[in-house]
Amino acid sequence: MDRRYFLKSFGAACISLPYTQYGLADQHQTPFLLRAEPGETHLVGPDFPATHVWSFNGQVPGTPIRVSLGERINATLSNHLEDPTTVHWHGIRLPNDMDGVAGLTQAAVKPGEEFEYSFVPPDAGTFWYHSHVNAFEQVGRGLYGPLIIDEPDPPQVDRDLIWMIDDWRLLNDASISEDFGSGHDKSHAGRIGNVPTVNGRFRDVVQVRSGERIRLRLINASNARNFSLTFSDLAPSVIAIDGQAVTPYVATTPIIVGVAGRVDLIIDMTGEPGSRSTVVDSFYRDSFDLTAFVYEKAKPLRTEPADWPIALSPSQLPTPDLDGALTQDVIIQGGAMGGLNRAKLDGQWMDLRDIARQGLVWAINDTVAHKLDIPPLIDVTRGTSVRLIIENRTAFPHPMHLHGHHMLMISIDGKPLSTPRWVDSPLILPKQRVELAFVADNPGKWLFHCHALEHHAAGLGALVNVT
Ligand SMILES: [Cu+2]
């Protein structure tokens, strides 16, 4: 297999006309039905065979679930796969027994069985849902979809678009490479693929009208690929990160969308009719065109950009008490070139080479999380403010996802952020030291883990217990 085949062979010249418009039809029936089932989809375009995927409702991304803030989500997961599965509602502060982590918050749903999820999301914003059983394989095969909670007072735009970005490792016949969870992926950057898609399409484009204002919701559903996006001559304003409002700012540097992260943008389409604006990723050494906006030839919708306000209502999250907070160091160790020699497995110190024989290579505070019934890293009573000091002593970035809560990012490498921001999946770069804080106000045992899915499978996780 040539991992660069698709990116090399189908360069920018290939982006011309849309072969389908990136469209995602919302699901309106309630309860929402999520059939986990095999399916086929043309990820790489009509000139290639369809790719055999696992999906929610036969499509990748799965059907968007969209409700208004305050509305209850009732969703039936119906498992038509040959493997057990669950649904995790990423970024939603929901009751613990609805969190969908097999073996921790519920039993995995067996083939032929169903599970009813029911909860009222407390926050508006851009979220997603995905399998939480063997996620490195199930999410990698397509078991995910967007989850949008609409604000009562959203900023006015002409169109509200979702771009669910994924990264597939395909063979040259467009079939999925079956090497899920390989030792190399576990110990290095995770499963980095060769076919980056937007809404399940490689190198498709989106048609826009000059002058229109778009809200663009970026969701990174990749196993392990992070994105750093530029929008050529456009000047996107960031209005939310990980579903939570930020004070709007015009992005002057590339927009980082780490694994599992979300970024909401407002973009005025300022290009000329008939022109194009390319969206380029440059997170890794080789940059590539992810997609492009292609302007219709029609005359501009408006000549001056709209002057409508773009700020979202501020987040309604509990503010942590930094002075009274419990401080917890979270030292991420291991992996290739990480220099870790020994770690604890089941409380026993072991040589990392012996641990690696079990497919485990990462640790937090010297402890390898190889199963879910490990002693919690943090064990607090409800309402406790917790300050996390995460130190990445490895050679790879780690998107660290905390379930059931949002965390306030306070500082990076000792430098306080001018405006702290709420996150649920912050990307911690190699050698970085990031300070976060949250109020542990949601009772239950919650996963806190690297969302580079192969890293989690290889021991990079911990538990937070709130009683
Ligand atoms: Cu990681």
Helix (H) or strand (E) holding 280: strand 276-281
- Average pLDDT on 360-367 reads 97
Question: Does residue 244 register a pLDDT over 80?
Answer: yes
Inter-CA distances, 298 with 21, 138, 144, 208, 384, Å: 17, 43, 36, 10, 57
Domains and CATH numbers, the chain: 5-295 (2.60.40.420), 326-466 (2.60.40.420)
Check pLDDT > 80 for residue 198. yes
State the pLDDT confidence band at 29, using cuts at 50, 70 and 90: low
Per-residue pLDDT for 19 more than 90? no
Our CA angle for 57, 100, 376, nearest 5°, is: 155
- Around ion ligand 1, which residues have CB less than 5 A away? 398, 450, 452, 455
pTM of the model: 0.96
| C-alpha 409 – ligand 1 centre gap (Å) | 18
* Spacing, Cα 223 to ligand 1 middle (Å): 10
H helical segments located in 98-150: 135-138
Handedness of CA 68, 69, 71, 74 (dihedral sign): positive
| Residue 305 pLDDT | 87
Residue 12 in this model has a pLDDT that exceeds 60:
no
Cα 304 to middle of ligand 1, angstroms: 44
Look-up of token digits 């309402």? 383
- Supply φ then ψ for residue 340, to 5 degrees: -85, 125
Q: Give the separation between CA 204 and CA 65, rounded to whole angstroms.
A: 23
pLDDT of amino acid 135: 98
pLDDT-above-70 percentage for the chain: 94
Ligand 1 centre distance from Cα of residue 454 (Å): 8
Residues 6+ apart with CB under 8 A from 248: 237, 238, 239, 266, 310, 311
Q: What is the pLDDT of residues 295-350, one digit of tens each?
A: 999 999 998 989 999 999 999 899 999 999 999 999 999 999 998 999 999 999 99
CB atoms within 10 A of CB 445: 20
Distance, CA of 220 to CA of 198 (rounded, Å): 9
Q: Are 263 and 404 in contact (CB under 8 A)?
A: no
Alpha helices in 225-376 (DSSP H): 352-356
Q: What are phi and psi of 163, to 5 degrees?
A: -115, 105
Is the pLDDT score of 14 beyond 80?
no
- CA–CA dist 464, 154 (Å, integer): 33
Distance 396 CA to ligand 1 centre (A): 7
- For residue 47, what pLDDT is reported? 87
Mean pLDDT of 48-77: 96
The predicted model gives 373-402 an average pLDDT of: 97
pLDDT band, residue 6 (cuts 50/70/90): confident
Q: Please tell me whether residue 337 adopts helix, strand or coil conformation.
A: coil
Give pLDDT, residue 373.
84
pLDDT for the residue numbered 13: 40
Write down the pLDDT at residue 45: 86
Work out the mean pLDDT of the chain and round it to a whole number.
Answer: 94
Ligand 1 centroid to Cα of residue 453, in Å, is 7
Residue 244 Cα to ligand 1 middle (Å): 23
371 confidence band (pLDDT: 50, 70, 90):
confident
